[in-house]
Amino acid sequence: MDILDERVMKLARVAVSGTKDELRKYILELSKEEEEKGNKEFAKSLNMLTGNTSIVSLGSKEKSFLVVRNEFNFVKHSNQEFWHNDKRFTYIYDFLKYKKNLDLIKVFNCFIYGRPGTGKTTFVEELSNKLNKNVLNISAASLVSSKLGETQKNIKKLQIDIENNYHDSIFLIDEIDSIIGNRDLEINDEYKRMIGSFNIFLDSLPKRTILFGISNKINFIDKATLRRFNVKIGIDEIDEEQFKKSLKNEIEKVGSTFDDVLVEKFLRLLCKNLSYSNIQEFVSNSLIFNKSLNKVFLDFYEQLYGVQKYDDLKNLGFTIKEISNLKDVSFSTVQRALKGNL
């Protein structure tokens, strides 16, 4: 059997008896081989079969699979422009658009941290969209290898790639804590070396590199790593108005009703516990369990704080009419129950 036959045989075997993941993995392997042979187009086509992110071919000299082009879903955001009124967004946009003082600070590396679902990734998406720049995801999983010395080699490769091929792109390491900084991990030598090489990588970023690191767990990140980011942005809070607007938009899209007053009351009670990801969750729950949005909010509240009796709800500021709506009982039932408690 020649090499081609062997590859066909293997492909057939994986296709027939392997899992989807195994098939995907093997196609990626083939794509990588083709990439290395210089068959870029074929490599790309193979790669496209495995999903909607395409691995960027990295230059002609150095080839690596460390960087993945990020195909953000711009359609979803194109007319929402979540972050465009945020001051930090505007400053960074201006700075990167004109790059006036980029030489003075050498590189722009920005660390974004905060609770999950507060729009951190979206911040970078929208920035790159507005700047009309590519975002290249630095794939954490491929960067870090458990093989001795492999990580340093990868980091070196990546550095050369940035320098030679992608100096005008935005680089993103999302969920950065997943590669460097999990304190739960045993601090062994390999791990220390990894943080060490990562820090050296940050130190040796080519001039004018634009890099974003994102993490939900800033406390897990190595202090020396953090120090190397020259801009840090905390995105911990959601904007109540923004949340309401988006929720209203989404809930009306699926034909459900939106009760301004009740939603506002819940928002005020729950703001610290909510993230933008809850919007999709609430809409889905309302549809799947055929519940009103008010009831979805109440359930969410009760999951956090336990079942609320009529007088609990009254103390939270809900009127009798609202309580009867939320608990799906008649006005007079609530009225009677509350009187009984007085």
Ligand X SMILES: Nc1ncnc2c1ncn2[C@@H]1O[C@H](COP(=O)(O)OP(=O)(O)O)[C@@H](O)[C@H]1O
For ligand X, the binding residues (CB under 6 A) are 82, 116-122, 242, 246, 276-277, 279
Binding flag, residue 121, Mg ion (CB under 5 A): yes
For residue 82, the partner it binds in Mg ion, ligand X, none, with Cβ less than 5 to 8 A by kind, is: ligand X
- Alpha-carbon distance 279 to 266, whole Å? 13
DSSP secondary structure letters along 79-135 = TT-TTTT-HHHHHHHHHHHH-TTHHHHS-EEEEEE-STTSSHHHHHHHHHHHHT--E
- Alpha-carbon distance 203 to 205, whole Å? 6
- Minimum distance, C-beta of residue 6 to ligand X, in the bound complex (Å): 42
For residue 181, the partner it binds in Mg ion, ligand X, none, with Cβ less than 5 to 8 A by kind, is: none
**Cβ proximity to Mg ion, 121 vs 308, nearer residue:** 121
**Cβ proximity to Mg ion, 121 vs 325, nearer residue:** 121
**Cβ proximity to ligand X, 144 vs 283, nearer residue:** 283
Contact 70, 135 (CB under 8 A): yes
- Minimum distance, C-beta of residue 69 to ligand X, in the bound complex (Å): 18
55: helix, strand or coil: strand
- Minimum distance, C-beta of residue 183 to ligand X, in the bound complex (Å): 20
Phi-psi region of 69 (alpha: psi -120 to 50; beta: other; left: phi over 0): beta
Candidates 13-21, 88-96, 120-128, 150-158: pick the segment binding Mg ion (CB under 5 A). Answer: 120-128
Binding flag, residue 118, Mg ion (CB under 5 A): no
The residue nearest ligand X at its CB is 119
- Minimum distance, C-beta of residue 26 to ligand X, in the bound complex (Å): 30
**Cβ proximity to ligand X, 118 vs 225, nearer residue:** 118
Residue given tokens 């336990």 in the structure block: 306
- Alpha-carbon distance 144 to 152, whole Å? 8
For 214, list phi and psi in degrees, rounded to 5. Answer: -125, 140
User: Residue 56: which of 104, 318, 237, 48 has the closest Cα?
Assistant: 48
For residue 242, the partner it binds in ligand X, Mg ion, none, with Cβ less than 5 to 8 A by kind, is: ligand X
Candidates 37-45, 95-103, 116-124, 126-134: pick the segment binding Mg ion (CB under 5 A). Answer: 116-124
Contact 313, 323 (CB under 8 A): yes
- Minimum distance, C-beta of residue 122 to ligand X, in the bound complex (Å): 3
Binding site for Mg ion (CB under 5 A): 121
